[in-house]
Amino acid sequence: MNGPFAFTLALGDDALVAAQRLAEWTTRAPEMEEDIALANIALDQLGAARLLLSYAGELEGAGRDEDALAFLRDDREFRNCLLVELPNDDFAVTMAKLLVLSAYQVPLYTALADCPDERLAAIGGKARKESAYHLDHAALWVKRLGDGTEESHRRMQAGVDQIWPYADELFAAWPEAPVDPATLRSDFDHTVSAVLAEATLTVPEVGWTPVGGRDGVHTEHLSYLLAEMQVLHRAHPGARW
């Protein structure tokens, strides 16, 4: 796959899978307001996914549109990071995931807004505003839980510990991409470290750092997610609603 296509596809897959996971909280969030908030964040991610996958289809030049890329690929053809496909688990884990993802997406989309590719720049300009809200929302909950009760602190720290090894994959060097993710790590570390410090949480020490998502090597969780997401489209191929 060529550089711009592979990069655009990877970002689109990140957003698509993140949207699907967050949507699973609908009717299950701990508060009614949070139920609506997570649904809105999922819709923001889905909107970014549509823009990115539509453009990826044009860059590929094989006649595949956003629907074909979303619903007619198997797991080994997806290029999302492993972080977004992980199960939601409890609410603390979801907030840890959202903190890591949004702290990566904010500098990513900000840099993308200034890249020479006009389409990607336009997508980045729109998505960075939404991602800034996602980051604020996640940070608020991480602080609230981390600096709350003994039980909420324990669960929030456990959530951060569980998610943290998956952060490294986001920043793997990609020098031929419109934005090299490796250049974003310092902004990410500064943002997340400040949130965790205010939440009285500890930045985990990491030894094992799983990778493979950008190469199509995923956890078993993605297969189950795609089976649910794609079932209607595959059961009625070519249907128009």
Domain locations in the chain? 3-235
> Does the CA dihedral 215-218-223-229 come out positive or negative?
negative
* 112 and 121 Cβ atoms separated by less than 8 Å: yes
Q: What is the mean pLDDT of residues 153-167?
A: 98
Dump the DSSP string for 12-41: HHHHHHHHHHHHTTTTTSSSHHHHHHHHHH
The secondary structure of residue 238, as a DSSP letter, is T
Q: What is the pLDDT of residues 22-52, one digit of tens each?
A: 999 999 999 999 999 999 999 999 999 999 9
Residues 6+ apart with CB under 8 A from 176: 3
- Report the phi/psi class of residue 89: left, alpha or beta, with left for phi > 0 and alpha for psi in -120 to 50: left
Written as six digits, the tokens of 147 are 């600096």
List C-alpha distances in Å: 96 to 138, 193, 202: 7, 12, 13
Report, at the CATH architecture level, how domain 3-235 is classified: Up-down Bundle (1.20)
Q: Can you give the pLDDT at residue 2?
A: 61
The owner of tokens 């299950």 is: 28
Structure tokens belonging to residue 13: 């897959």
- For residue 17, is pLDDT > 80? yes
CA distance 225 to 217: 15
pLDDT(63) > 90: yes
pTM of the model: 0.97
